[in-house]
Chains A and B, each alone.
Chain A
Amino acid sequence: MAKERVLLIFSTETYDKALTYHLIHDCNVKINILKASITPGKEGHLLIDIDGSEEDVASAYQYLTQEQIKVVPANRQISIDKDLCIHCGACTAVCFAEAMSLNRDSWQVEFSPKKCIACGLCVNACPLRIISIAGDNLACTMVE
């Protein structure tokens, strides 16, 4: 079995596909939608967990690729320029998924991509502006 969190980015041409139906019906995977932002005529974003057998998850990826939907693994959504981090902890204040946390021995900020739901609050909370998010900061605007 495989469970993967991915951000789907679809273009103005592909936004109107019955995507989740095809994934569930044809690929036999469980879909859990964590965040969605779809506006007709604009680029859309969907943050989902795909759960199923290795084979089914692979077929889901195949379907998405074939439909020209960009699949970004969720752990690549938030990126931090770690060399520039001063470990102030401002990002941990807003991270309710607790993906950003402070190690209470070293007092360094640690990031667990697996816990990240890509809400994007940390992007604006970071006073050094060293956190970025894939997909046009869209997840970020969704929260606000």
Chain B
Amino acid sequence: MIKKSYEEINSKIKNGTAVVLTAEEIISMVEEQGIAATTRKVDVVTTGTFGAMCSSGAFINLGHSNPPIKMSKIRLNDVPASGGLAAVDTYIGATEVSDSDENYGGAHVIEDLVAGKNIRLQASSYGTDCYPRKAIDTLITKDSINECFLFNPRNAYQNYSAAANSTDNILYTYMGTLLPKFGNVTYSTAGQLSPLLNDPYLRTIGLGTRIFLAGTEGYVAWNGTQFNPSKPRNEKGVPLGAAATLSLVGNLKNMSTDYLKAAVFKNYGVSLFVGIGIPIPLLDEEITQFTAVRDQDIQTSVYDYGVPDRSRPALKTVSYAELKSGMIELNGKKVRTAPMSSLYKARAIANQLKSWIQKGSFLLTEPVAPLPSEANILSLDERR
């Protein structure tokens, strides 16, 4: 039984001898050389995903004006931001929509900040003895403000259901445009490249894990919201639906618009494409086995988004190999499939992270604490 420690792997990374493969490359290596040989030879597997993740946003400290103001109503490029923190702290959520343009929202403000553009800040206050000022209207950039960090409550879903539409009308959803009468099926995952599908029990991913976040290093801050590791799993340990999630944090000032893109989904709203890559250390053979997961080993269910109910009926279980082929059979008909997350970018992220590790500029971290191994999602029941 081969065992490697974080320290051993990191010392190899530091002296430039670590062997790093992407989650796609490891598959053929395991097929050709087997689990034991691969575990001996390979130190790290890099993963990647680039999808729309609504539960994203940024904390900003705007700096104090003279005279100072305790900002209680805040707008950035006409997009409302939280006034519920200390005087000049705010949080801008990705899905918050501009008061004047439905195709511009918090995600665009975040992308524009990263791009170095001017952002108009308008704030008002009721005025206090210590913060007498009642209004301000000025411009900020990422260089004129203090801290500015992305803090996303729920990212990197471990598996997600696919979507179809049984109705007679086009549905515009966060899963894209769903054509009537099962005209298409959309799915959103990087499959065999996806971070949490390569470490299904989160053995190496926990609190404090250093990751690739939107072009710079970021960290796992907490388990994500709606964290549900108790979902049923297949024989490979892969959850069969939306299971674990991550809450992520990173310095927005160092991020790149190549890996952070605002998006508009018609009749749904604004969202943010976030690029995430997580390195997985091959500590033992079990982990190697997990990272060798292939699209045909990962299944999800197709749901009918035409049913406006929390418990939508599952139409079919399919593998990502089938979904990625471009066509699946649904109700005896061939139906076109399309991804909503970019596999091209996911691959670029896995490769970028691989090169950082190979160059010795990115070291792996042992989790400070594990994420919960059991949790359940509660529904919101109405009562008074």
Q: Which residues of A contact B (CB under 8 A)?
A: 86-90, 92-94, 96, 102, 104, 106-108, 121, 124-125, 127-129, 144
B341 cross-chain contacts in A, Cβ below 8 A: 88
Encoded as 1 (CB less than 8 Å from any A CB) or 0, chain B from 333 to 377 comes to: 000111111111101000000000000000000000000000000
A102 cross-chain contacts in B, Cβ below 8 A: 326, 338-339
Judge whether B261 and A86 touch: CB under 8 Å: yes
Q: Which of B52, B177, B324, B343 contacts A93 (CB 8 A)?
A: B177
For the complex, is B263 an interface residue (Cβ under 8 Å from A)? yes
- Please give me the residue from chain B that is nearest to A123 by CB atom: B266
Judge whether A129 and B264 touch: CB under 8 Å: yes
For the complex, is B186 an interface residue (Cβ under 8 Å from A)? yes
A108 cross-chain contacts in B, Cβ below 8 A: 344
Judge whether B342 and A93 touch: CB under 8 Å: no
Chain A to chain B contacts (Cβ below 8 Å), 21 pairs: A86-B261, A86-B344, A87-B343, A87-B344, A88-B52, A88-B273, A88-B340, A88-B341, A89-B340, A90-B340, A93-B177, A93-B337, A93-B338, A94-B176, A96-B183, A96-B336, A102-B326, A102-B338, A102-B339, A125-B266, A129-B264
Interface of A is mostly: loop
B343 cross-chain contacts in A, Cβ below 8 A: 87, 89, 107
Judge whether A129 and B103 touch: CB under 8 Å: yes
- Please give me the residue from chain B that is nearest to A88 by CB atom: B342
Judge whether B177 and A125 touch: CB under 8 Å: yes
Judge whether A93 and B184 touch: CB under 8 Å: yes
Encoded as 1 (CB less than 8 Å from any A CB) or 0, chain B from 170 to 210 comes to: 10100011110001101000000000000000000000000
For the complex, is B271 an interface residue (Cβ under 8 Å from A)? yes
For the complex, is B50 an interface residue (Cβ under 8 Å from A)? yes
User: Smallest distance from the beta carbon of A74 to chain B beta carbons, Å?
Assistant: 22
**Known contacts A96-B183, A106-B344, A124-B266; is-contact A88 B177 (Cβ 8 Å):** no
Nearest first, the 9 A-B pairs at minimum CB distance are A93-B338, A127-B263, A87-B344, A107-B343, A107-B344, A125-B177, A89-B339, A124-B266, A88-B342
- Please give me the residue from chain A that is nearest to B268 by CB atom: A127
Which B residues, 152 to 183, have Cβ-Cβ distances below 8 Å to chain A? 170, 172, 176-179, 183
